[in-house]
Amino acid sequence: MRLLILSFLLTFSVFGQNQQAKTYIETLCSPSFHGRGYVNGGDSIAANFIAKSFQEIGLKPLGENYFQEFNFPVQTFPGACELKMDGESLIPGVHFLVAPNSGPSCSEFGCTKGKSYRVVTCNVQKLFQSTASFYPCPNNVILAVRSFGISADSLKVIKARLRELSAFASVMDVTRDKFTWSVSQTANAYPFIQLQDSVFERMMEGNIELHLETRFLKSHVAKNVLGYVPAKKNAKRKPFLFLTAHYDHLGRMGQATYFPGANDNASGNGMIFSIAQELVKNPLDDYNVIFIAFAGEEIGLLGSKYFVENPLVPLKKIRFVLNMDIMGSGEDGITCVNSTLFKNEFDRLLQLNESGHYLTLIKPRGPAANSDHYFFTEAGVPSFFVYTMGPNKNYHDIFDTYEALSFAKFDEIRQLMLEFIRGF
Ligand SMILES: [Zn+2]
């Protein structure tokens, strides 16, 4: 009976915590956070929410507050984002995407009407040679390039030509690929649209109407959010472990469409939040543990780069960085970037997984510049970047929603990471 009650209580507390982490993730994905990008102050809403949550669970600030500010330029789409073909409105994120560095359809922000463009399909062979025969391009023409059904090498050339064209013409990249959006530090003068071929086929040459407003932010202020759990004793003299996860995502593409970024990377924030709750209750003897929610990852790892260049603790005192990005599935295990660089730590992780029976696979991977661990590694700070693998392939698209997360191995990964951290 006693045992039963105990196990019931244990289950209950793990369940309660799991639910809290899920609610945290769901909040970060909600429309009022605007995809944690640069329209409607989404990233700063998220930063404030994370700092408040850090404070509530008992993480201490490193300085006067929980923030480290820095800035960068970014192109944004805070207004109209409408594309019509034959009078029919196309669905943003499904039928078309606006390139992250696209220019507007009108020269001034606040234009009330779309602009009509005549669609002219480029001869791909000609374009492969050079862009010369397409120059100059009339202002009311949009050049359509069907960039599929060609070899990977040729496609590279065609994509480069598209970028060249976009310097002097409005461009439409007609594709059969899954849409994958991004965010850019530069802005073109002319519109640059990606369109699904299934839509283009229905229309081919004709007219489109585009209403696209852009605003280039020359020096957007972003904030890394940091909090820590001091070591049990003599914290001032103790080294550090870092747990990191970027919270920024891609934001809005026009006021009607946003990218929730659930797997990438509200999920990682839920994970470090959940681990922080555990460590606050039971701190480590020999390490201070710093939790960082990084800003500006999607635009080029800018938040973690800034931190490494302006570290709030000496880099030499950081024993290990554990970066979490894409934590929402796990049916097929996790991948561990840098496992080949840090053999001992990786072996220990494998052993813990084996004895705890947590994940079906921990796949080793060499160094890669694909998340916030990168600049730490470059600066000589040991690090791992772990991400989950599973059937959820929604990535940098409007379908990366909270509802699409399976949380298949969320608890197991939290437990494994806690054991890994406690083993230093
Ligand atoms: Zn990410």
Q: Please tell me the distance between residue 343's alpha carbon and the centre of ligand 1 in angstroms.
A: 25
Same domain, 107 and 124: yes
Question: Which pLDDT value is given to residue 1?
Answer: 46
Q: Please tell me the distance between residue 264's alpha carbon and the centre of ligand 1 in angstroms.
A: 4
Residue 343, pLDDT > 80, answer yes
Question: Which pLDDT value is given to residue 2?
Answer: 47
Same domain, 311 and 360: yes
Q: Please tell me the distance between residue 51's alpha carbon and the centre of ligand 1 in angstroms.
A: 20
Q: Please tell me the distance between residue 263's alpha carbon and the centre of ligand 1 in angstroms.
A: 8
- pLDDT band of residue 205 (cuts 50, 70, 90) is low
- CB neighbour list of residue 249: distance below 8 Å, 6 or more residues apart: 35, 36, 37, 259, 260, 261, 264, 265, 266, 298
Last residue in a domain, options 195, 213, 231: 213
User: Which 3-state string (H, E, C) describes the chain?
Assistant: CHHHHHHHHHHHHHHHHHHHHHHHHHHHHCHHHHHHCCCCCHHHHHHHHHHHHHHHHCCECCCCCCEEEEEEEEEEECCCEEEEECCEECCECCCEEECCCCCCCCCCCCCCCCEEEEEEECCHHHHHHCCHHHCCCCCCEEEEEECCCCCHHHHHHHHHHHHHHCCCCEEEEEECCCCCCCCCCCCCCCCEEEEEHHHHHHHCCCEEEEEECCEEEEEEEEEEEEEEECCCCCHHHCCEEEEEEECCCCEEECCCCEECCHHHHHHHHHHHHHHHHHHHHCCCCCCEEEEEEECCCCCCCHHHHHHHHCCCCCHHHEEEEEEECCCCCCCCCEEEECCCCCHHHHHHHHHHHHHHCCCCCEEEECCCCCCCCHHHHHCCCCEEEEEECCCCCCCCCCCCCHHHCCCCCHHHHHHHHHHHHHCC
Q: Give the pLDDT confidence of 146-188 residue by residue, as tens digits.
A: 999 999 999 999 999 999 999 999 999 999 999 999 999 999 9
Q: Please tell me the distance between residue 175's alpha carbon and the centre of ligand 1 in angstroms.
A: 24
Question: Which pLDDT value is given to residue 87?
Answer: 84
Q: Please tell me the distance between residue 422's alpha carbon and the centre of ligand 1 in angstroms.
A: 26
Q: Please tell me the distance between residue 204's alpha carbon and the centre of ligand 1 in angstroms.
A: 36
Same domain, 50 and 192: no
Question: Which pLDDT value is given to residue 112?
Answer: 82
User: Considering the domain boundaries, does residue 2 fall inside one?
Assistant: no
Q: Please tell me the distance between residue 402's alpha carbon and the centre of ligand 1 in angstroms.
A: 15
- pLDDT band of residue 202 (cuts 50, 70, 90) is confident
Q: Please tell me the distance between residue 299's alpha carbon and the centre of ligand 1 in angstroms.
A: 10
Q: Please tell me the distance between residue 266's alpha carbon and the centre of ligand 1 in angstroms.
A: 9
Same domain, 392 and 244: yes
Last residue in a domain, options 213, 243, 271: 213
- Give me the percent of the chain exceeding a pLDDT of 90: 92
User: Considering the domain boundaries, does residue 13 fall inside one?
Assistant: no
Q: Please tell me the distance between residue 411's alpha carbon and the centre of ligand 1 in angstroms.
A: 20
Same domain, 377 and 234: yes
Q: Please tell me the distance between residue 77's alpha carbon and the centre of ligand 1 in angstroms.
A: 20
Q: Please tell me the distance between residue 32's alpha carbon and the centre of ligand 1 in angstroms.
A: 20
Last residue in a domain, options 159, 179, 213: 213
Q: What average pLDDT does this structure show over 30-35?
A: 98
Query: What are the tokens at 374?
Result: 């990168």
Task: Return the CATH number at 157.
Answer: 3.50.30
Same domain, 60 and 88: no
| C-alpha distance from residue 316 to each of 64, 67, 231, 283, 306 (Å) | 23, 22, 17, 22, 17
Question: Which pLDDT value is given to residue 368?
Answer: 97
Q: Give the pLDDT confidence of 136-148 residue by residue, as tens digits.
A: 999 999 999 999 9
Number of domains in the chain: 2
User: Considering the domain boundaries, does residue 8 fall inside one?
Assistant: no
Domain extent, residue 253, equals: 19-75+217-422
Task: Return the CATH number at 308.
Answer: 3.40.630.10
Same domain, 95 and 62: no
Same domain, 62 and 115: no
Same domain, 204 and 224: no
Same domain, 278 and 353: yes
Same domain, 323 and 362: yes
Same domain, 402 and 289: yes
Residue 306, pLDDT > 70, answer yes
Q: How many CB atoms lie within 10 A of CB 129?
A: 11
Q: Please tell me the distance between residue 246's alpha carbon and the centre of ligand 1 in angstroms.
A: 7
Q: Please tell me the distance between residue 297's alpha carbon and the centre of ligand 1 in angstroms.
A: 7
